[in-house]
Structure 1
Amino acid sequence: MAENSGTENHFCPNCGKEISPSDTFCPNCGYNLSEISATESATKKGRSSRSKRKKKQKKQGKVKKANPKKRKIILWSILGVVIVAGIIWGEVYYAKSATLDRITSDLKSGNGVQSDFISQDKKFKVTNSSLEPFMAYYQKHDSRLAGFKTQLTATGSAVGNHFTFKKTGRSWLLFPKYQIVIKPIYPTVMTNRNGAKIKLNNQLIATSDSTVYSKKIGPIVPGQYRMTASGTVSGHKLTNDGTYHISSDKSYNLLLKTISVSLNTEPKATVFLNGKELGTADGNGEYKLTDQPWEANMTVSAQYKTSAGTAKSKSVELVERDNNQDIKLNFTNLVGFSDADDLISNVFEAVSGLSGSGDDEDATDDDGTDLDDLFKDGSGNADYQELVKMATGYYGDDKIDSVTYDTDVESVEPAPGQKSLVTYTVKYTFDGQENDDDDEDEYTYEEHVQTFRYTATVVREDSSTYLVSSISQATKVGDYTKEMGD
């Protein structure tokens, strides 16, 4: 038996003959030995790859176990950092100044306010609704909200010590809890009418049972409130309605005020209150205003209708002290009755002088005032010219020996444009002679009397002078003749 030298023998897979590793083809049968080499190489690589994967899997299977003690230390360290950070944050967030900043912000927005306040009075329950008047006031007054905050910061209290900012407990057992403590108020409402209904923010809180009525209300938070008292007096519905900033226990008088005055104006003038017609003045020019509901800016006035239009008096604003007083409703520049009588009398005194002599120089009144000076625009006035023509005509009439003029002022009325209408009558008495129809040399002396009514428009020239502006057409009211000696 041959000794194994350690070299591997190779044989042809086709014929079985021994071959050399360097042979490409079998020397016996010519088989291509290179295909065998390729196949064996691939087989060896496959075995090598599987072997490496197995080793790698064995290495991966050996995972190093974590240290439990080390992991606990890490977790506790993280937890410690979170706790410290939370404490630092809480000290800032729950600080006194930061809390007051949040409360101020809540008041502006109206959100979360309830938790910012507590009450020292068990009768007052803190809710968003009960705090609404307080919030409403400061939401409308930014500057006063800033002042409120400043007071709490500086002294710890505000609004007469009805609000106190202080520590009231703890938050999360670690941090101080600050809130505003409310000391509610108990104001008193009063009224002067029996049966008046009193409301606070549209809620009925009382009905009076006397004309001297008062009631303490509350508890309420200081703030902005609407208070109303309403009732009926002498058929008039009265209401006292106002908005108040209630900040203490003081009294609020909700008077149902009325006013009574006597209005004096021209007879039969129409009287107005704030432009609304009230009624007509009586024959003496009086109109009584009784138990009229009082309100600010009350004005009274009068109007007078004439053929020339409607005259309006001055408006008079009533004040509370006018109650039970006489109020005059004067028409501006209205001539007084006495002044009107003097003016018309003076005009016809001057006319009488002219008709008696025919001389313009005699056309004066008893004070020596010329006739043209009694008329607006003087001698250029058309009605002045008519009177001169009438008087000179009487003077030139041979049948008229004399003329007398008797005047009587009947009324004075206000007219538009600050003028006056003076209605008067003139009785003309003509003394003269008439021929006897049977004997031309015989004359009958007789007196002819005629009465006419006129209306003169009178204007004021200055503080003491009135002039005739125009004279209406005459209306005959009387005419008769009688013989002298009858």
Structure 2
Amino acid sequence: MLNNCSNCGHENAKDSLFCESCGQKLVGEKTSKECHKCHHLNEEDALFCESCGCRLDEEIVEETSYCPYCHQINDSEAQFCEHCGQPLTINPEIEKQGIYDEPLNHVIPETVIETQEVTAPRKPMSKKKKISIAILGVIVIALGGTYAFLDKKYSKENQIEAIIVAIKDEDSEFIAKNIVSDDPSLSTTASDVKPMLKLFDDNKENVTNLKSALEANSEYLGLSLEQTGKTALFFPHYELKVTPVYTNVVSNMADSTIKMNGKKIIETDSDNYSKKIGPLLIGKYTFDASIKGKDETIKESYTLLPGDTTQVDMGFVTVTIPIRSNVEDATVLMDDKEVGKLTDGKLEVGPILWSGHASFQLVKKSKDGELKSEVKELNNEDVNRDGGTTNTIELNFQTADKYEVSEGLKSFYNRFEQSVVSSNNYNADDFAKAFYIDGSKNPAFKGINDYISWCRDRSASDEYSGVDFSIVVKSVEPMTNNRYKVNYTVTYHTTYPSKTNKSKRVEGFDYSNVVVQLEMNDKKDITDFKFVDMGDGGQKVSDNHANE
């Protein structure tokens, strides 16, 4: 016979205790046995109350061992429950208290069989509590991870590295925000920090030394690391501590204005002026001074460090500068401005206010062009500031002299000697390109080419043997840096075949105002020699055959 569920009507097996469809407890047709303690109706053949576990049949219980914890029947001689493993003998104290008579989930026996501690089964954890614990776990993990991240981010090593990177990158804004001093009057704006960054940029070794010092908790160039508070409540915050710098600025000129890094800081009121300035950050500073109503200025750079007693000297110096040259007359330029003319190759420039630097050059102008000397520089180390004297400045034109011009002329006349002999090759265009500006188009070339051709014809008919030349350069006048006006004498030594019965002919010619272009290398070796103009074309001054 089936056992129908009174809740959902599902047909269950005859001996089922709970509905297999909805879980509802099933009531069978058997007669019920009432518990004398809790009055719960149990199955007719039940020995223990299925609600409270109380014994329902004294006679049956006496013949068996009943477990007071899981309420299962064991053999009468058993010492421990074969179902749950708990002792079947109850501690007298527990039995006296009647704890074992309580429902199983409330039984928390202290001791069983003298010393054995028994823990009552725990209630299953609710879903809400599990979710709460899981959320709490996630929060703890997140907080732990965040702390570990921030601990690394705000570590002392990372903060030192951030300072060093900012110095290398010349990040004045970052340094200005992370700098501290015991002197409250020290200005530490981004602009104030720039001289310090320039000091490190000019010498990269300073950056390495500073990093090592900060890591070792020591000081370098007056800089050290100091903890100034906490970041995010837990992590130490470090800043760059600076020792301020003070210095004296002195001047020997009244009514002068002194600037530091382009900003006016002093106006002097005497010829013996001194003023202490500071506090300043360490660094490389530029000072310049000018005098009211005068063009002269001086500019000096100073590196200011803690404990340095060097004064910033912005005093003006009056100097006289001697100029000497290898030319007798030329215009002398100082800083591209004319300051005088040479007389017999000499000029004394000054006395002038020394500004710390000056450049000198000679210029010689003519209708043919402009000749310039090399530029010579004069700096502070060249000046005796106490005596107002300097070394002599030599300003010479890098020009050819008579020897170099003579060598250039010889190269021309040697080629000439070879070209007049008919047995030697001669190409007029090649000759012109080698020795005349504009080649064969140069008007001066035609006369020479005609003479060479006449000689070659006579040489071919055996009426002429050849010619050689001797040259004497009388004067060389530079016109530009590679062009010269030359006066020279050339002597022709012409020989004839013996059959002509003619003696050697010697003719002398004077050439005036000949313009040549001569190029030389650093060793003054001639690299190019050309005629620009043959001047007067040459005038015959002597001839041993004149009367023939």
TM-score range, shorter chain: 0.3 to 0.5
Q: TM-score w.r.t. structure 1 length?
A: 0.47
For CA contacts below 8 A with separation 6 or more, give which structure has more relative contact order.
1
Which has the larger share of strand?
Answer: 1
